[in-house]
A = this chain, B = another copy of it.
Amino acid sequence: MTTVHTHDALTARAETLDAQSPLHGTRDRFTLPDGVIYLDGNSLGALPSAVPAVVGDVVHRQWGERLIRSWNESDWWSAQTRVGDAIGRLVGAAPGQVVVTDSTSVNLFKAVVGAARLRPGRTVVLTDPDSFPTDLYMTDSAARLAGLEVRRVHPRDAVAAIAEAGEDLALASYSSVDYRTGELWDLVAITEAAHAVGALACWDLCHSAGVLDIRLDADGADLAIGCGYKYLNGGPGAPAFIYVAERHLADFDQPLTGWHGHARPFEMSGTYEPAPGITRARVGTPPLLSVLALEAALTAYDGLSPADVRAASLSVTGLFIEALDALGVDLPLATPRDDDHRGSQVSLRHPQAFAVVQALIARGVIGDFREPDIIRLGFAPLYVTHVDAVAAAEHVRAVIADREFERPEFTERGAVT
């Protein structure tokens, strides 16, 4: 009877919180399959309901009927900066500083080389050893070409390492949220420390844009990159974005000098001259089906402030943790309980984490596994409600308490991003 009582109490509380949420009703802006609690929006965001009609229009009318004329008539030419500005509104960036282009990996390459050129003579780049691997690989590769030294220093030690590097430091490049644990780092402190020695800071917003109250301009970030297909819901492999603070734009000298970044691309000059402003971070012709799907997806944020989204995210993840406690699930949390140190996911540790994730998926609770022992559950507050959070906690309880994860069908390994 205790479980029933706990269920009823948690569900009642969840319903109240949902009703009072500033995001009440935003789930209706998404198309989700029945019977699914989708906690993997930090890997691939759900389908916003506005997307299919826009993609259909892009294919049939813009491409099929208008053909090449759509560069002007459908304003394809400004799509990347237009969508960049829309993302800018979610990450505290005034217009003209964000562009949608390429992948996060490619944009980090531009950022690292570009930062080194903004700080000539400085050779050290600091980054997190626990970064998402592509950040490490791309930083290493940029360093190899640009003659830099990469120091991998944990974010909690970054301020000290910045002071130690001093005037050798060109760039401190950190993610605001650890992709595995969901721990939130103090990028403001890292940025201030970098500025104190004359260096720059680059923020990786892959796990922050669209769920945190990021304030790039106000907090003095120099550069930022992020992903379009996670909490921004742009669709599989949606193009990424890059932010360059206004004060650096005129001197931002990025290494992937494609014709879409040229000041006057149709003059077909043989000499590269970067476009004024953030347009210079563009490279080749962008994948417009994906760019315009992302634009449509961002309308799911219409009328929502980043502060409201962040509050809802903390409320949902907080209730999920509370429900785990109440239900007696005693798995170690990899994610901080403290609101000030938690992104928008809750990660649990379990020696058979892979099988636990498979068992949850079989129950319709879709999360993902990360090496070595992480059950990663992302909460996209636009479509994951408090009621979902309580139901997800009950599924976790059942999988663990009934040892469902030991069933053979859940132990076979496959590739899941």
Write the residues of chain A forming the contact surface with B, with a CB cutoff of 8 angstroms.
31-33, 36, 38, 40, 43-44, 46-47, 51-52, 55-56, 58-60, 62-65, 67-72, 76-77, 102-106, 109, 113, 129, 132-134, 136-138, 140-141, 144-146, 152, 227, 229, 235-240, 255-260, 262, 265-272, 283-291, 293, 361, 366, 368, 370-371, 414-417
A237 x B287 contact (CB < 8 A):
yes
Q: Pick the contact of A102: B33, B51, B72, B284 (CB < 8 A).
A: B284
18 pairs, CB–CB < 8 Å, chain A vs chain B: A44-B67, A52-B64, A59-B235, A62-B236, A63-B235, A71-B417, A77-B415, A103-B258, A105-B256, A105-B283, A113-B145, A133-B265, A133-B269, A134-B284, A141-B257, A152-B270, A237-B291, A287-B290
Tell which of B63, B113, B258, B286 touches A137, judged by Cβ atoms closer than 8 Å.
B258
Q: Output the nearest chain B residue to A288 by Cβ-Cβ distance.
A: B236
Residues in B neighbouring A31, C-beta threshold 8 A: 64
Could you tell me if B67 and A46 are in contact, using CB atoms closer than 8 angstroms? yes
CB distance from A268 to the nearest CB of B (A): 5
Known contacts A103-B258, A113-B145, A141-B272: A239-B287 contact under CB 8 Å: yes
| Distance (whole angstroms) from the CB of A221 to the closest CB of chain B | 21
Q: Which residues of B contact A46 (CB under 8 A)?
A: 64, 67
Verify A240–B284 contact, CB threshold 8 A. Answer: yes
A212 to chain B, nearest CB (A): 21
| Structural contact, B52 and A288, CB atoms closer than 8 A | no
Whether the pair A33, B105 counts as a contact (CB closer than 8 A) is no
Residue among B105, B133, B256 making CB contact with A141, cutoff 8 Å: B256
Given the complex, which residues of B lie within 8 Å of A267, measured CB to CB? Answer: 371
Give the residues in chain B near A55, CB-CB below 8 Å.
55, 59, 289
Q: Report whether B415 and A289 are in contact in the complex, using a CB–CB cutoff of 8 Å.
A: no
Copies per complex of this chain: 2
**Contact of B65 with A33 in the complex, beta carbons under 8 Å:** yes
Instruction: Provide the bound-state CA to CA distance between A44 and B267, in Å.
Output: 19
CA A239 to CA B105, docked complex, whole Å: 16
Cα distance A171–B140 in the bound complex, in angstroms: 25
Bound CA span A240–B140, Å = 25
A62 to B51, CA, bound (A): 14
CB <8 Å contact, B266 and A415: yes
- Are A256 and B63 in touch, CB under 8 angstroms? no
Q: Is the CB of A416 within 8 A of B258?
A: no
CA distance A371 to B43 in the complex (A): 45
Q: Which of B36, B136, B268 contacts A133 (CB 8 A)?
A: B268
Instruction: Please give, as numbers and ranges, the residues of chain B lying within 8 Å of A52 by CB-CB distance.
Output: 56, 59-60, 64
Contact A268–B70 (Cβ < 8 Å) = no
Q: How far is the CA of A176 from the CA of B136 in the complex (A)?
A: 37
Contacts of A62 in B (CB 8 A): 236
> Is B371 within 8 A of A237, CB to CB?
no
List of B residues within 8 angstroms of A103 by Cβ:
102, 258, 283-286
Chain B residues whose C-beta falls within 8 Å of the C-beta of A146 in the assembled complex: 145
A105-B284, A137-B262 given; name 16 further pairs at CB < 8 Å. A40-B68, A69-B416, A71-B415, A103-B283, A104-B285, A105-B259, A106-B258, A137-B258, A140-B272, A235-B289, A236-B285, A236-B287, A237-B285, A237-B289, A237-B291, A289-B290
B contact residues around A134 at 8 Å (CB): 258-259, 284
